[in-house]
Amino acid sequence: MDDTMTVTRWAPLVNEAIEPQWITYDIPPVPGKAKVQPEDFVVDEIPAYRPSGEGEHLFLWIEKRNVSPEFLLRAIARRLKVPLRSIGCAGLKDKVAVTRQYVSVPRTAEKRLRHLEREPGIKILDVRPHQHKLRTSHLKGNVFRILLRETPKSAIPRVRSVIDRLRRQGMPNFYGRQRFGRGGDTALTGLAMLSGSIPNDHIAWRDRIRRKLYLSAAQAAIYNAYLRERIARGWFRKVLDGDVMHKESGGIFFVTDVEQEQRRFDQGYTVHAGPIFGKKMFKARGVAAEFEYEILRRWELEPEWFVARGRLLMGTRRPNLVYPQNVSIEAVADGVQLSFTLAPGSFATVLLEEILKKPIT
């Protein structure tokens, strides 16, 4: 980000939002290295549904190695000669990794699929038609297989202690630092766009992929700040009056009976959800709403800025904690191998930081 875009008043806040904040601080760091090679970090998407075999779109089951999600989308558009807006994906995947996921394209590109495999680091593993384009968050979760290099077998009990606590208490659902760009530049650009410091005719607005990355990074930084403050106030596992809750079944509502909802939360039936500010965000009430807007005031942001951007910032709710599932821990020749499943949108690097007690990108 060049100097003309820099909004200095937000830089300290973004830097703080990016810094790890682990809840297993009393468990000493585990020695080891993560993401040394792409093969050390393997991600498999769990689709919400399988393509039907009929329709005007193609679902491509794609494997990428050491390829950023932005580069993948641009390569698909370039090689298949389709508009970026016609490409669908359920979620973004790490660059320094081997990842497998569905991406949808118009069926009219079928004859050009062979051109995509000329792109280094990208393979098409399967192709199936479907009736509609793949949409964001159309997935059940992600399976991670991660190698911690140079982690001794003797450290496995400590690894297990961290993960067992996260399984019981929940893992803070922070956005990983890779979402924010080098030094938080992506988030800072998004904040400048949001505030109007970057005019609408700037290239940052014209580039469809980057525009979305910038603005979503700004939303993510604000969410991280909210969650950090919630943890600092001792509210990580506390239900507030007016909190927005997610049901295990997927429904959403706000709290009117705190005692009843605290019991349901403690039993794992619900989870409170933080703000991803935008035009159609389900609003909290009472104490919870005041807390959320306190964060906006601290960042010198106006709620109207999010509404004014329309479809670019629709807004949503993000569960404040997630529970790792299907966990396995195994000593291997090069260190310790972890396998686990996380909900859609959750970052495995946040879990790794709890174990290693150091930043992971």
pTM over 0.85: yes
CA 28 → CA 32, 34, 176, 350, 354, distances in Å? 13, 17, 21, 16, 10
3-state secondary structure of 62: strand
User: Out of 94, 201, 207, 243, which one is annotated catalytic?
Assistant: 94
How do strand 98-106 and strand 41-47 relate by DSSP bridges? parallel
Q: Label the pairing between strands 335-342 and 139-149.
A: antiparallel
Positive or negative CA dihedral for 293, 298, 302, 305?
A: negative
37-84: pLDDT as tens digits: 999 999 999 999 999 999 999 999 999 999 999 999 999 999 999 999
Q: Kindly state which CATH superfamily the domain 49-137 is placed in.
A: TruD, catalytic domain (3.30.2350.20)
324 Cβ contact list (under 8 Å, min separation 6): 163, 166, 167, 171, 340, 341, 342, 351
d(CA 51, CA 48): 10
Query: Taking the domains of the chain in order of start, what are their residue ranges?
Result: 49-137
Residue 1 has pLDDT above 60, yes or no: no
Could you read off the pLDDT of 9-21 as tens digits, one per residue? 899 999 999 998 8
Residue 7 pLDDT level (bands cut at 50, 70, 90): low
Q: Which residue is associated with the tokens 């569960």?
A: 319
| 94 tagged catalytic | yes
Amino acid 137: pLDDT: 80
Distances from the Cα of 80 to the Cα of 45, 60, 92, 165, 175, angstroms: 23, 12, 20, 46, 32
pLDDT exceeds 80 at position 144: yes
